[in-house]
Amino acid sequence: MSLNIHSSELPESERSLHEFWMNEAIAEAHKAESLGEVPIGAVIVRYGEIIGRGYNLRETTLDSTAHAEMVAIRQASIALNSWRLLDCQLYVTLEPCPMCAGAMVQSRLPLTVYGTTDPKAGCAGTLMNLLEEPRFNHRTEIIQGVLQEECAELLTSFFRQLRRKPPKS
């Protein structure tokens, strides 16, 4: 049984709450964009409070693991003084890659909410579904499609501008 829920299936009050937190993840994505990084952002929420924030820092840190979700997971673990992210929800603008989906399962995260799907790396149902793999000892529930257009537009406008830039001489 898949728990992968599209936000359009949710009641209005629940959907608008997820949109509120997704806007925080979008704000993180803008921080990445201002550094010339691919604009992807994430926040981790626990009992109505953000305990972890992150944005993509792969180029800045020369670190392939510096994805928004990984940065947010590390910060939340420090805040909770625990590697287990119990009672937490992770919001991310783009569907998680295999590494981040793996980290979500490893940290026992109960729920991941993402904005737009990633046809090239998405492991929350698009290419595979690592979050709801029944053979793992933990499954992370998924809600997708929250502020999908805004999250997708962040990426398309970033890559559109990249293409417009003249090549470095």
- From the CB of 40, what's the least distance to Zn ion, in Å? 8
**Which position among 28, 37, 69, 95 bears the catalytic label?**
69
The residues with which 49 forms a beta bridge, in sequence order, are 46
- The minimum distance between CB 70 and Zn ion, in angstroms, equals 7
Phi-psi region of 102 (alpha: psi -120 to 50; beta: other; left: phi over 0): alpha
Angle among Cα 86, 63, 151 to the nearest 5 degrees reads: 60
Catalytic: 69? yes
97 binds Zn ion (CB under 5 A): yes
Q: Looking at 38-46, 91-99, 109-117, 154-162, which segment touches Zn ion (CB under 5 A)? A: 91-99
Supply the minimum distance, in Å, between the C-beta of residue 96 and Zn ion. 5
The answer to whether 53 contacts Zn ion (rule: CB under 5 A) is no
User: Segment contacting Zn ion (CB under 5 A): 27-35, 39-47, 61-69, 138-146?
Assistant: 61-69
Whole-number Å distance between alpha carbons of 140 and 29: 23
The radius of gyration computed from the CA coordinates of the chain, to the nearest angstrom, equals 15
Quick check: 100 binds Zn ion (CB under 5 A)? yes
Question: Residues 33-52: x/- map of binding to Zn ion (CB under 5 A)?
Answer: --------------------
Tokens of 18: 């997820």
Residue placing its CB nearer to Zn ion in the complex, 16 or 98: 98
d(CA 20, CA 53): 15
Point out which residues pair with 44 in neighbouring strands.
52, 90
Using rule CB under 5 A, residue 94 touches Zn ion: no
| Other C-beta atoms lying within 10 Å of the C-beta of residue 57 | 19
Half-sphere exposure of 118 (CA within 13 A, CB side): 20
Q: Which is nearer to Zn ion, 25 or 97 (CB)?
A: 97
Chain residues in the site for Zn ion (CB under 5 A): 67, 97, 99-100
